[in-house]
Structure 1
Amino acid sequence: MKFTVDRVDDLQKLDITKLVEESETEGYRFLSRLVDDYKDGTNTFNQPGEALFCIRDKGENIVAIGGVNQSPFSEDNKVARLQRFYVEADARRQGAGSALLKEITDHSRDYFNEITVRTESSKADAFYRVNGFDFDDSASETTHVMNLQK
């Protein structure tokens, strides 16, 4: 399946309603938080190195979204945090997630030394490992780390 990666300059100009609804059906509220935090200015991915990206399918529908922030769990401003990463069920195992993650990590290499994420899903664990993250749960807020300086 063919996908296009776009940097999101203004989340409020995108319709991610389908992603939000699907994620909530799966029991995840982090896309609702993405929308709320963006709207109230809590997190607009505007600090140095931060960015939000989306994936569109050939019909221009947004099928995945995710971003990178300076890690709120580290005093080191060279540590990034993968945030609000979600791929629509129909786009999973089609390359959308890997394309989005590659765009985020490629962008992050210019600003950060490592990127962290936390997941409780075994499928997400496998996804992150296949895409270059190492399992590391030595910190309570992290399960996976990628060294960006390799």
Structure 2
Amino acid sequence: MTYKVEQVEDLKAIDISHLVKESETEGYRFLTRLVNDYEDGTNRFNKPGEALLAVQNDEGEVVAIGGVNQSPFSEDTQVARLQRFYVLDDARRQGVGSLLLKEIVDHSRDAFKEVTVRTESSKADAFYRANGFELDDTASETTHLMKL
């Protein structure tokens, strides 16, 4: 199976309903917030440096999504926040998450000096550390960061 990563210009133009449903079943509501915030204009990943990216499989199905925003927790516009990062269960452990994260980090290098994220999951902790993030829980809104 091959995967391609593309920047999402219009969230309404792609189908992520299966990701939203699965994430809610797992107890996560951040993809529901992604859809709601996009629809009401709260967050469209359109400030300088920001982007929303999706991974599609050979059939064109979206199997992962994630984005980067200017961090709402920093006054420094060169601090990014990884947001709404989710990989469909069937696509996990196949390099999809790492591929998506690499593309987000590469996109971020021109606009940001660091990327932060917060997770409470031990699996996500292991994933972020395996992909170059450092554990940093000195601030309540951040658990991991990567200097760019």
User: Fold conserved (TM > 0.5)?
Assistant: yes
Residue 121 of structure 1 corresponds to which residue in structure 2? Answer: 121
1:52 maps to: 52
Inter-partner Cα distance in structure 1 for 2:4 and 2:10: 17
* Paired amino acid for 1:127: F
Letter in 2 for 1:6: E
Give the TM-score, by structure 2 length.
0.99
Answering whether residue 142 of structure 2 is matched by residue 145 of structure 1, we say: no
Secondary structure of the residue aligned to 2:123 is helix
Which amino acid letter does the alignment assign opposite residue 38 of structure 1?
Y
- Residue 50 of structure 1 and its aligned partner are, at CA, apart by 0.3
Alignment of structure 1 residues 1-150 onto 2, 5 Å: 1-148=1-148
**Alignment coverage as a number of residue pairs:** 148
Cα distance in 2, alignment partners of residues 81 and 143 from structure 1: 11
- For normalisation by structure 1, the TM-score amounts to 0.98
2:20 and 2:129 map into 1 onto residues whose CA distance is 25
Runs of 4+ in 1 over 6 A off after TM superposition: none
* Counterparts of 1:142 and 1:99, CA distance in 2: 22
Taking the aligned partners of 1:144 and 1:21, their CA distance within structure 2 comes to 27
Once residues 36 and 135 of structure 1 are traced to their aligned partners in structure 2, the CA distance between those partners, rounded to angstroms, is: 30
The aligned amino acid for 1:74 is S
> 1:58 offset after TM fit, Å?
1.0
- Please give the alpha-carbon distance, in whole angstroms, between the structure 2 residues aligned to 1:85 and 1:58: 21
Pairwise CA RMSD:
0.4
Q: Percent identity?
A: 71
Show structure 1 runs of 5+ residues with no match. none
Q: Give the Cα–Cα distance (whole angstroms) in 2 for the partners of residues 122 and 136 of structure 1.
A: 14
Amino acid at match of 1:82: L
2:139 alignment partner, SS class? coil
Q: Residue deviations 1:29-57, cap 9 Å, x none?
A: 00000000000000000000000000001
- Structure 2 gaps of 5+ residues are none
